[in-house]
Amino acid sequence: MARSVTTQRKSFNTLIAWIIGLLLFFPILWTILTSFKTEAQAIADPPVWFFFDWTLENYRVVQERSNYSRFLWNSIIIAGGSTILGMIIAIPAAWSMAFVPSRRTKDILLWMLSTKMLPAVGVLYPIYLIFIQFGLLDTRVGLTIVLMLINLPIMIWMLYTYFKEIPGEILEAARMDGAGLKEEILYVLTPMAIPGIASTILLNIILAWNEAFWTLNLTAARAAPLTAFIASYSSPEGLFYAKLSAASTMAIAPILILGWFSQKQLVRGLTFGAVK
């Protein structure tokens, strides 16, 4: 029998959720507000909250100084390309682990996850040399491959979890009807796991979009995404907080909009199979 939840309990849980949400969102809110301040107001002590002289000057200066559209386009290609390439590899890999019995499946999954525990700087030097050797330094192709590889373990883990929730009898019935491996994955498994696949795609886009370590070390100018665009506003003369905030707001705006409009799908996918 389900346990009833009192109105007071619901109100308390809602209040706690709002407090946590506001605390998490506060840095983003402060960055957006600072982007509309003058440099003097940005470093004022005590800080200026809402009552200041709102200005778009920082955005004008940022747009004049940098080609924002080029950085944006690089981010779209790198994040989208790494996601598509990763899904092409992750879906068959997760299918084989979920539906082909093996005593080594858990060991393989743990090994893949352990690669995320390795500090990225530990493999920077060999990857940098490989990129120079094959002419991939400061190219979109090189960054797409690297970001796909570093996010691939998470993609496989997520898809494996979603695929395990699908009854194997459905796939067996498809095989009895003459479905081959390709048809089984494309026309049976994939449509049933759409929520999980969608959430995996969205999460990978966010991770690739926000990746800074590899983009700053493997690019210079041609393939630089928005993370490099933000870093360019750190100069030897010091930080110009208002202009840096404007650049940061322009960089995070696309992913914030994407997350806002896809939040229902993301939550649905992340909770897929959580309730029986």
Tell me whether the omega of the peptide bond preceding residue 254 falls within 30 degrees of 0, making it cis: no
pTM of the model: 0.82
Residue 203 vs residues 170, 192, 207: alpha-carbon distances, Å: 28, 19, 6
Q: Which of 151, 163, 143, 252 is nearest to 201 (CA)?
A: 151
**Domain of residue 181, CATH code:** 1.10.3720.10
Asked if the structure places residue 216 within a domain, the reply is: yes
Domain membership of residue 47 (yes or no) is no
Residue 209 lies in a domain: yes
pLDDT range class, residue 76, cuts 50, 70, 90? very high
Is 21 part of a structural domain of the chain?
Answer: no
pLDDT at 235: 61
**Cβ contact 162:272 at 8 Å:** yes
Question: How many folded domains does the chain comprise?
Answer: 1
Does residue 120 form part of some domain?
Answer: yes
The more confident residue out of 128 and 196 is 128
Answer whether residue 254 is part of any domain: no
Around Cβ 199, how many Cβ atoms within 10 Å? 22
Position 228 scores a pLDDT of 86
By percentage, how much of the chain surpasses pLDDT 70? 92
Instruction: Kindly tell me the burial class for residue 229, based on how many C-beta atoms sit within 10 Å of its own C-beta (0-12, 13-18, 19 or more).
Output: buried
pLDDT tens digits, one per residue of 207-239: 899 898 999 899 888 888 988 888 877 665 456
Provide the sign of the torsion angle of the four alpha carbons 150, 152, 158, 161, taken in this order: negative
* Enclosing domain of residue 105: 66-232
Q: What is the pLDDT of residue 275?
A: 44
Positive or negative, the Cα torsion across 165, 169, 174, 179? positive
- If one compares 8 and 86, the residue with the highest pLDDT of the two is 86
Quick check: is 146 in a domain? Answer: yes
pLDDT recorded at residue 1? 44
As a whole number of angstroms, the distance between CA 145 and CA 149 comes to: 6
197-212 pLDDT, tens digit per residue, is 888 898 899 889 989 8
Query: Does residue 187 fall inside a structural domain?
Result: yes
Tokens found for residue 50: 């809402």
